[in-house]
Amino acid sequence: MRRHLVLPLGLMLLFGLARPAWAGDVVTPHHGRRTAIVEAIQRAQPAVVNIHSERVSYADGATPNRANGMGTGIIVDPRGYIVTNHHVVDDVNLLRVRLPDGTAYLAKVIARSKEHDLALIKIDAGKSLPIIRVGTSSDLLIGETVIAIGNAFGYENTVSVGIVSALNRDVTLNKEISYKSLIQTDASINPGNSGGPLLNIEGELVGVNVAIRAGAQGISFAIPVDQMVRVVGDMLARRRAQDLALGFGYQDVMNAEEPLRPRVTVAKVHPQSGAAKAGLQPGDLILQVGEVSVHNPLDLERALCDRKPNDRLPVRVRRGEQEISFEFPLEVEDTQSEAQGKAWDVLGLRFRAGTAERRSDSTATGSLVVTAVRPGSPAEKVGIQKGDALVGLHHWEISQFDHLSFVLNHTDFRKFQPLRFHIVRNGQRHWGNLEIRD
């Protein structure tokens, strides 16, 4: 039986353990207890969700075996877009998301990257949801306080606190799973925490919790938020790529006013586009698109999500010391012709749309079938043949022409070299690297 030490008020006063209100103090609720950690948790917790999954397998071909899983997600857009780990949603038949207020919704997988162990899912809550404040991992300090929130072992909204133990850790879990440049922390991470936030003392997202070191104590890892922003921004960009001509390209750069805070600038403006006619220029710092303040590529893609051709796009930028507002129409883009031309010039390939090439690690809805290979091209040098079905470039799945256009026109395309490709030939998957020359 647990015994509690109880002291009379007089003794508590004698030992300085308590002071009555008449001693001159102003008594306020939680006086001295509302620390920065408490405030950071309260700020972020409404945007953290619990994920429950169900996998169904058939051991004897007839009897279903159901296995339940759990994870955590981070709301990044008020419309219900949620970031989590790829391994949380991989090969599941049912996803259910529970919000902090106890309401639950079915979720669908929007996009995922096995290479980065990140996924984007969506729920339809019928209301605007609170979103996480996205920080940066570029200025993390070894030893600074970090906070993890997650569905640890099914105990929803579990909070743990630790420090940043190390940065840029490369971690190999097995032959198939490895990670680059992770954040190491001693904040307690357990099964179910996967996909949940790692926060700084300001309540800003600095990482996505992903793994622990089995058999160790206080060795946990998180994906840096700057990496998450790029990957999930690309996921949303691919969703809006089909038919929609933005009229300008963008890149994230370091902000001169806050050197460690990335911002988004206009990288190029396509001639004769609505953006060009409105007066947008390369180098403009993008401040706001629609109702969304833009601090990183994910913000920009959130602002563009669900927009359609002919929608008018309000954009506010900073040019030098001046803030300028534009509004221009989004246009329909012939991605097939553009992608065909660039693929012939860069890869040495021409395609036609093909049927789905189903693979165990893919949700492909189609493929691009090679119809011609240019002599002396990068594709010919690695043995790609007429009839091969292209299903992947770099770490993106390719199932239609706008996917191909997205990769070939990506701002960081040159950094992808050598360009990894995946093809299906006679039902067998093959991969290799394309050496792209300037």
Do the beta carbons of residue 367 and residue 355 sit within 8 Å? yes
Question: Alpha-carbon distance 77 to 54, whole Å?
Answer: 25
- pLDDT greater than 80 at residue 258: no
Cα 395 to Cα 202, 420, 422: the distances in Å are 33, 8, 10
- Tokens read off for 340: 């065909």
| CB within 8 Å of 6: residues ≥ 6 apart | none
Q: Which residues pair with 369 in a beta bridge?
A: 352, 389
Residue 290 has pLDDT above 60, yes or no: yes
Which range has the worst mean pLDDT, 38-52, 310-324, 325-339, 380-394? 325-339
Q: What's the pLDDT band for 338 if we cut at 50, 70, 90?
A: confident
- Dump strand ranges (E) for 255-365: 262-269, 285-289, 292-293, 312-319, 322-329, 331-332, 349-354
Q: Which of residues 244 and 268 earns the better pLDDT score?
A: 268
Q: What is the largest CA-CA distance in the chain?
A: 95
Active site residues: 87, 117, 194
Q: Identify the pLDDT of residue 428.
A: 85
- Between 243 and 158, whose confidence is greater? 158
Buried residues in 328-349 as b, exposed as e (16+ CB within 10 A):
bbbbebebbebbbeebbebbbb
Using an 8 Å Cβ cutoff, are 285 and 300 in contact? no
Out of 57-71, 104-118, 415-429, which region has the weakest mean confidence (pLDDT)? Answer: 57-71
- In sign, the C-alpha dihedral spanning 134, 46, 197, 163 is positive
Can you tell me the mean pLDDT for 63-75?
87
Percent of the chain with pLDDT over 90: 47
| pLDDT at residue 356 greater than cutoff 80 | no
Q: Distance between CA atoms of 417 and 347, rounded to whole angstroms?
A: 12
Is cis: bond before 130, omega within 30 of 0? Answer: no
pLDDT at position 357 over 60: no
The pLDDT value given to residue 210: 92
pLDDT at 259: 52
Q: Which range scores top for mean pLDDT: 58-62, 202-206, 257-261, 430-434?
A: 202-206
* Residues, the chain: 438
Tell me what pLDDT residue 354 has.
73
Tokens of 11: 């003794």
Residue 2: exposure state from Cβ atoms within 10 A (0-12, 13-18, ≥19): exposed
**Lowest mean pLDDT: which of 253-257, 338-342, 386-390?**
253-257
